């Protein structure tokens, strides 16, 4: 019985390196094809829009690495810095005036950083113009997908160039 195991081991050991190499190649390829961007949801909730930005953990970590800080992503300082980063780079304009967004907070869950904001407004139909520069300083082709769900309106917009405002769709 031990002779049978001795004969199988060299065959199994010879497969380990090619299988490990293939696995590594697939991992690098899968990461390389992931779009870099932010998924933002604006959901109408009574008297306000609740805004949630979803940023992939690796992209959020790259943003932190570009800052002059030693803060890590899961720390209070890291979350605060990333929330301020989003606040500076996601702009809404209504009738050519900047809209004041209230920062609610940020958290990391699974593979994503979530940053929460609110826009208090009495009119859910008064959709603003959107500008997003999130991740543009880390990845040149970064985009922001903005899904707006309001009474009578359910659309997704894409903001890909940080210098261009996405038009209002009223």
Concatenated DSSP letters of 65-120: HHSS----TTSHHHHHHHHHHHHHHEEEEETTEEPP-EEEEEEEETTEEEEEEEEE
Q: What is the pLDDT of residue 62?
A: 94
Same domain, 15 and 63: no
Same domain, 149 and 88: yes
Q: What is the pLDDT of residue 15?
A: 55
SS3 12: helix
21: in domain: yes
Contact 41, 52 (CB under 8 A): yes
Domain count, the chain: 2
Instruction: Name the one residue in this structure whose structure tokens are 């809404």.
Output: 92
169: in domain: no
Contact 148, 129 (CB under 8 A): no
CA distance 99 to 121: 10
Q: Residue 11 is part of which domain span?
A: 1-33
Q: What is the pLDDT of residue 96?
A: 87
The whole-model pTM stands at 0.76
Same domain, 45 and 29: no
Same domain, 117 and 83: yes
Residues, the chain, total? 170
Contact 145, 156 (CB under 8 A): yes
Low-confidence ranges of the chain (pLDDT < 70): 1-34, 161-170
Same domain, 46 and 18: no
**Helical (H) or strand (E) element with 27:** helix 2-32
Q: What is the pLDDT of residue 140?
A: 84
């Amino acid at each position: 019985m031990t002779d049978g195991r001795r004969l199988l081991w060299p065959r199994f050991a010879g497969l380990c390196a090619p299988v490990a190499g293939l696995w590594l190649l697939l991992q690098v390829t899968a990461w390389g094809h992931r779009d870099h961007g932010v998924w933002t949801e604006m959901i109408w909730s009574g008297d306000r829009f609740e805004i949630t930005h979803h940023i992939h953990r690796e992209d959020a970590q790259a943003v932190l690495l570009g800052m002059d800080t030693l803060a890590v992503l899961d720390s209070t300082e890291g979350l605060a810095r990333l929330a301020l980063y989003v606040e500076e780079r996601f702009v809404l304009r209504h009738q050519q005036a900047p809209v004041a967004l209230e920062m609610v907070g940020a958290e990391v869950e699974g593979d994503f950083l979530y940053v929460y904001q609110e826009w208090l407004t009495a009119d859910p139909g008064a959709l603003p113009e959107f500008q997003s520069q999130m991740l543009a300083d880390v990845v040149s082709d970064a985009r922001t997908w903005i899904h707006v769900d309001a009474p009578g309106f359910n659309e997704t917009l894409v903001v890909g160039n940080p210098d261009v405002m996405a038009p209002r769709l009223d």
